[in-house]
Amino acid sequence: MVFNFFKRKTRDKEQEKLKKQAQLKEQERLKEQERLKEQSRLKEQERREEQEKINEQERLIEQARLKEAARLKEQARLKEEEERRTREQREEQERLKEEERRKENERVKEKLLSEEPDKKGIFSRLKSGLTKTREVLNTDINDLFKSSRKIDDALFEELEEVLITADLGMDITMEMMDRIRKKAGRLSTADQLKAVLKQELIALFPGKEDPETVPALPRPHIIMVVGVNGTGKTTTLGKLATRFTRENKKVLIAAADTFRAAAIEQVGIWADRAGATIVRHKQGADPAAVAYDGVEAAMARGMDVLLIDTAGRLHTQKNLMEELKKIKRTVEKKMPGAPHEVLMVLDATTGQNAISQAKMFHEAVNLTQLALTKLDGTAKGGIVAAVAGTLHLPIRYIGVGESMDDLQEFDAVRFVNALFD
Ligand SMILES: Nc1nc2c(ncn2[C@@H]2O[C@H](COP(=O)(O)OP(=O)(O)OP(=O)(O)O)[C@@H](O)[C@H]2O)c(=O)[nH]1
Ligand SMILES: [Mg+2]
């Protein structure tokens, strides 16, 4: 009985113990479950945070991408606008130039129609064309000798200044002054000094060819006219055409300045006036093709002279200088030995720049002769002597005004006399 009692007690205890153990185990299991839950919650939170970070990064990248795209789009728009504006400005400039040229054509046309034959004579025209330079040389030299001044270093220095003012150029002035100083003993009046100056100036120009030794001109005699913009190429060509037709020569003009329609029109007016024929293409056509057709037509029609007008260009514009070479090559291909003259027209009012321009053109197309225009517009007529003294190319024509007879064959003696007489 007692044994049973103890046995039950022990079993109860045992059961109690097991129950407690089970309770503890259950508690531990719950705790572990709780811990795992917490762990997975934290992990989830971490993952979410990580995802948010990624999302934010992606958002920022997308934002930057959109910003960049907008910036590029704006940049392209601005560029396009700038291009449009430049294009419009260029077109406007072209239009104004074209208009100006058209007005100039009208003016030339009217002037040509109203122009009377030369009454003044070549020498007096030359003198009046050189008025500005004459004023510098004569007035100042006369002033030097006023109040019976002595021939001394101060006078020579002043004379040096006068010559430089007339644009004779530094080197030539210095050389001339050396020679004049040596002759100083013989000088006592302004006229004597002028006479020595005249001698020295004339000596700068190469002697004229003896007409007996000048070979007969080939037929057609081809003259290509080149130069910087606006120097007077077309005007000079037009005046030459008139001169040749007056000598009963058959003249053809090739309008190889295809750059502007008004340039073709301008040369057309001159051709009409001179009684010359003209070969022309449309504006924008290849100038070498016009020159080629010109040579072909001149040969086929038995012309005496072919004058080729070319567009003005700066000696620094490489592609345009190449174009000029191409025109020359094309002419040569069609008629070996041609062009017989490459005439560069220089604007005297550009002063010493004319010399460097001519040097570059000479390198490109081998000039054979020069024309100096607009001498009436400058007091720096000494540029003629500077050009002759530095370039070793014959000055064939000078322009002393806009009328037909203001384009004169250059004659050194007449020119120097016109400066001082
Ligand atoms: N005063 C004066 N004006 C001249 C003389 N020679 C040409 N001109 C003027 O210079 C301007 C330009 O002459 P153009 O013959 O059109 O010049 P260009 O070299 O053919 O010009 P581009 O073909 O545009 O390069 C015109 O107004 C001419 O009348 C000159 O000796 N004296
Ligand atoms: Mg021209």
- How would DSSP label each residue in 18-42? HHHHHHHHHHHHHHHHHHHHHHHHH
Q: What is the pLDDT of residue 79?
A: 96
HEC sequence for 197-236: HHHHHHHCCCCCCCHHHCCCCCCCEEEEEECCCCCCHHHH
Point out the ligand nearest to the CA of residue 345.
1
Q: Is 257 in the pocket of ligand 1 (CB under 6 A)?
A: yes
Is 313 annotated as contributing to ligand binding? yes
Q: What is the pLDDT of residues 187-217, one digit of tens each?
A: 777 778 888 888 888 888 877 665 555 567 7
Contact (Cβ atoms closer than 8 angstroms) between residue 380 and residue 133: yes
Confidence bin at 8 (pLDDT 50/70/90): confident
Which among 402, 407, 415 is the best mutation to test ligand 1's pocket, defined by most ligand atoms within 8 Å of the CB? 402
Nearest of 307, 308, 241, 230 to residue 270 by alpha carbon: 241
The pLDDT of residue 140 is above 90: no
CA of 310 to the centre of ligand 2 (A): 7
Q: What percent of the chain has pLDDT over 70?
A: 94
The rounded distance, in Å, linking the Cα atoms of 246 and 234 is 18
Q: What is the pLDDT of residue 71?
A: 96
Q: Is 408 in the pocket of ligand 1 (CB under 6 A)?
A: no
The pLDDT of residue 1 is above 80: no
The DSSP line for 234-287 is HHHHHHHHHHHHHTT--EEEEEE--S-HHHHHHHHHHHHHHT-EEE---TT--H
CA of 407 to the centre of ligand 2 (A): 16
Strand bridging mode 341-347 / 221-226: parallel
More confident residue, 339 or 157: 339
Ligand 1 atom at shortest distance from the alpha carbon of 229: 25
Point out the ligand nearest to the CA of residue 227.
1
CA of 30 to the centre of ligand 2 (A): 106
Q: Within 10 Å of residue 106's Cβ, how many Cβ atoms? A: 11
Tell me the CA distances in angstroms from 151 to 143, 159, 188, 381, one per residue in order: 13, 11, 7, 26
Average pLDDT in the 353-382 region? 94
Q: What is the pLDDT of residue 150?
A: 73
Ligand 1 atom at shortest distance from the alpha carbon of 401: 32
Q: What is the pLDDT of residues 47-76, one digit of tens each?
A: 999 999 999 999 999 999 999 999 999 999
- The two tokens of residue 375 are 């001498």
CA of 267 to the centre of ligand 2 (A): 8
Q: What is the pLDDT of residue 195?
A: 85
CB neighbour list of residue 367: distance below 8 Å, 6 or more residues apart: 226, 342, 343, 344, 358, 361, 393
Point out the ligand nearest to the CA of residue 233.
1
Q: What is the pLDDT of residue 114?
A: 58
Q: What is the pLDDT of residue 112?
A: 61
Q: At what angle do helices 318-334 and 287-300 cross, to 10 degrees?
A: 20
Strand bridging mode 221-226 / 305-310: parallel
The rounded distance, in Å, linking the Cα atoms of 314 and 62 is 52
Q: Is 304 in the pocket of ligand 1 (CB under 6 A)?
A: no
Ligand 1 atom at shortest distance from the alpha carbon of 310: 23
Average pLDDT, the chain: 89
What element of type H or E holds 143? helix 140-144
In the 8-state DSSP scheme, what is residue 118?
P
Confidence bin at 284 (pLDDT 50/70/90): very high
Q: What is the pLDDT of residue 117?
A: 52
Is 231 annotated as contributing to ligand binding? yes
The rounded distance, in Å, linking the Cα atoms of 124 and 400 is 11
Q: Which residue's CA lies nearest to atom 27 of ligand 1?
A: 104
The pLDDT of residue 221 is above 80: yes
Within 352-399, where are the H helices?
353-365, 383-391
Q: Is 233 in the pocket of ligand 1 (CB under 6 A)?
A: yes
Q: Which residue's CA lies nearest to atom 14 of ligand 1?
A: 232
Q: Is 394 in the pocket of ligand 1 (CB under 6 A)?
A: no
Nearest of 237, 244, 226, 291 to residue 266 by alpha carbon: 237
Ligand 1 atom at shortest distance from the alpha carbon of 399: 31
Ligand 1 atom at shortest distance from the alpha carbon of 230: 21
**Residue 256: φ, ψ to 5°:** -85, 10
More confident residue, 118 or 8: 8
Confidence bin at 151 (pLDDT 50/70/90): confident
Is 234 annotated as contributing to ligand binding? yes
- Amino acid code (one letter) for 35: R
Q: What is the pLDDT of residues 225-239, one digit of tens each?
A: 999 999 999 999 999
CA of 18 to the centre of ligand 1 (A): 127
Q: Is 374 in the pocket of ligand 1 (CB under 6 A)?
A: yes
CA of 221 to the centre of ligand 1 (A): 24
Q: Is 231 in the pocket of ligand 1 (CB under 6 A)?
A: yes
- The two tokens of residue 224 are 């290509």
Compute the 3-state secondary structure of the chain and give helix, strand, coil in percent, each to the nearest 5: 65, 10, 25
